[in-house]
Amino acid sequence: MDLWPWLSAALLLLLLLVQLSRSAKFYAKISLYCALCVGVSIVASVICLLRHGGRTVENMRIISWLLRSFKYIYGLRFEIQGREKLEVDRPCVIISNHQSILDMMGLMETLPKRCVQIAKRELLFWGPVGLVMYLGGVFFINRQRSSTAVTVMAEVGERMVRENLKVWIYPEGTRNSNGDLLPFKKGAFYLAVQAQVPIIPVVYSSYSSFYNLETKLFTSGTIKVEVLDAVPTTGLTTADIPKLVDTCHQNMRSTFFHVSKMPQENRASGVSRALPAQ
C-alpha cells in the first residue's frame, strides 16, 4: 500500500491545524524550538571539540553565535541598554530574572566574554544539550544535596577569580511568568561576597505581550534588556548578605516594571504560576 497519499494528507492536516488553532501554533513553535536546541547542540559540540578539543569557557563564543540565530526564526528583537557594563575585564557575578525557556535566547544575546552559567545537574544528562553545556564550561549543581552544592559553589568562587570568569545565575531559582519577580535565593550573593567580586544585575522585560504559556500565545516581539550598575561587595561579609539581596531585588524589580511598562501594583495574583526551573 502506498503511504505517500496518507503522509501528504497528514502533513496538510497538520498545516491546516497550525493555521487555524492558536494552541497548535504554540506547540508547533515550542516543538521547533526544542528540535533546534538539540540540532544546534550537536553541531556546536562537534565544532567545539574540533576547535578547542574539550571543555573550556572559550566554547561559549561558538555556542552563543549559533544560538543567536534563533531570534530571526522567531521574529524576536533585543534592545539592550548598558551592555558595556558587562564587558569589564574582571570576574563578577551576573544575576538576571528568569521567565521561560526563551531565556536562553536572551542569555546568549547578552552574554559577555569569559562568562559561564550555573545550572542544575539534571541538565547534564539531556543528551546533546547537556554535552554542549559541559563543553561550554557550565557549572552543574545538585540542588537536592546542599553539601554538594556548597562545595561546588566554593570551587566556582576560586575558579572565577583564578581564571577571570564571569558567572551568570538566575537568583529566583525557577522560571516565573507571574508578571513580577520571585524572592531571590542567596547562593549568588554568597558566591559574590565569598569571592569579593561585584554583582551586575541584568533585567529582561516581560514576555507577556508575545509569549504566554497559559493562553498559548507565541508571536514575534521585542525584548528590552537593561544592564544595571555593578553592586560592589568589597569588604562585605555574610552578615551583609540579606541587605545585599534586598537591594538587588528592589532595583531589579523596579527596573522590570519600568522596561515592561507595567505599574508596580500590576503583580500577578495567581493569574500565572511559577514553572519548574530549566
pTM, full prediction: 0.86
Q: Do the bridges between strand 76-81 and strand 92-96 make them parallel or antiparallel, or are there none, so unpaired? A: unpaired
Q: Answer yes or no: are the C-beta atoms of 255 and 248 closer than 8 Å.
A: no
- The fraction of the chain above a pLDDT of 70, given in percent, is 88
| The amino acid at 33 | Y
Mean of the per-residue pLDDT values of the chain: 89
**Rounded-to-integer distance, Cα 169 and Cα 199, Å:** 10
Is the domain spanning 21-260 CATH 3.40.1130? The answer is: yes
Helical spans, DSSP H, in 53-84: 59-67, 70-74
| The amino acid at 144 | Q
Q: How many CA atoms lie within 13 A of 158 on its CB side?
A: 6
Q: What is the pLDDT of residue 147?
A: 67
Q: What is the pLDDT of residue 23?
A: 83
Distance between first and last Cα of the chain: 44
3-state secondary structure of 105: helix
Q: What is the pLDDT of residues 86-126, one digit of tens each?
A: 998 999 999 999 999 999 999 999 999 999 999 988 999 99
| Residue 79 in this model has a pLDDT that exceeds 90 | yes
Handedness of CA 250, 256, 258, 264 (dihedral sign): negative
Within 10 angstroms of residue 62's Cβ, the number of other Cβ atoms is: 20
Domain ranges of the chain: 21-260
Joined grid coordinates for residue 32? 521547533
Q: What is the pLDDT of residues 171-229, one digit of tens each?
A: 998 888 888 999 999 999 999 999 999 999 999 999 999 999 989 999 999 999 999 99
**Rounded-to-integer distance, Cα 41 and Cα 136, Å:** 11
